[in-house]
């Protein structure tokens, strides 16, 4: 029993040693803790701002010339194959963009006779897509938009080709 009392007395002595008697010391301790938290926030902010600003990333544009083609799928393939990322070296953005292009290129390849189905799928995914927080996701979304524009452009090219053929036969 005496051992427990001795431990208790030692504990009380330790608490008395650590006790701050001056109220200013308490506030200075709180200020130091607050400053440490601010420094941690600054470190987090610096690491976030060191990544490229998504609004500064240049999006690939639909090329003007895609080479020779005879079907709508070939026009679509030409547009997808001639995508240019320019000087953008943001790997996560480019990977997301390429993933969207590859996914729908495979679908278009499997449904090369009916690209309207692919156009509807891309449009649905764009409407359901709600996250643009990270560069990969922004690149994927922009890739979806690029695929939709490529599908529409291939349709326009085919219509222009048909129109030219009809006008030349008149």
- Using a cut of 0.85, tell me whether the model's pTM lies above it: no
Q: Indicate if the pLDDT at residue 14 is higher than 70.
A: no
Of 51, 103, 59, 107, which Cα lies nearest the Cα of 83? 59
Residues 51-102: tens digit of each pLDDT: 555 555 777 888 777 888 889 899 999 999 888 877 666 788 889 999 999 9
pLDDT recorded at residue 69 = 87
The token pair that represents 170 in the structure block: 């008149």
Tokens of 8: 């208790």
Structure-token pair, residue 9? 């007395």
What is the spatial distance between Cα 137 and Cα 132, in angstroms, rounded to a whole number?
A: 5
| Segment 25-63, tens digit of pLDDT | 655 655 665 566 555 444 443 333 345 555 557 778 887
Q: Are 157 and 75 in contact (CB under 8 A)?
A: yes
Q: Does residue 144 surpass a pLDDT of 90?
A: yes
């Amino acid at each position: 029993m005496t051992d427990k009392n001795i431990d208790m007395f030692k504990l009380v002595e330790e608490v008395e040693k650590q006790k701050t008697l001056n109220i200013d010391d308490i506030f200075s301790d709180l200020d130091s803790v607050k400053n440490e938290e601010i420094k941690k926030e600054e470190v987090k902010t610096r690491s976030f701002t060191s990544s490229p600003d998504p609004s500064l990333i240049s999006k690939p544009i639909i090329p003007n010339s895609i080479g020779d083609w005879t079907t709508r799928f070939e026009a679509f393939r030409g547009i997808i194959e001639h995508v240019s990322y320019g000087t953008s070296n943001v790997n996560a953005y480019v990977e997301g963009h390429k993933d969207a292009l590859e996914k729908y290129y495979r679908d278009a390849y499997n449904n090369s006779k009916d690209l309207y189905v692919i156009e509807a799928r891309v449009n649905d995914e764009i409407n359901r897509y709600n996250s643009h927080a990270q560069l990969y996701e922004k690149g994927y979304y922009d890739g979806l938009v690029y695929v939709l524009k490529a599908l529409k452009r291939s349709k326009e090219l085919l219509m222009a080709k048909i129109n030219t053929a009809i006008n030349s036969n008149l």
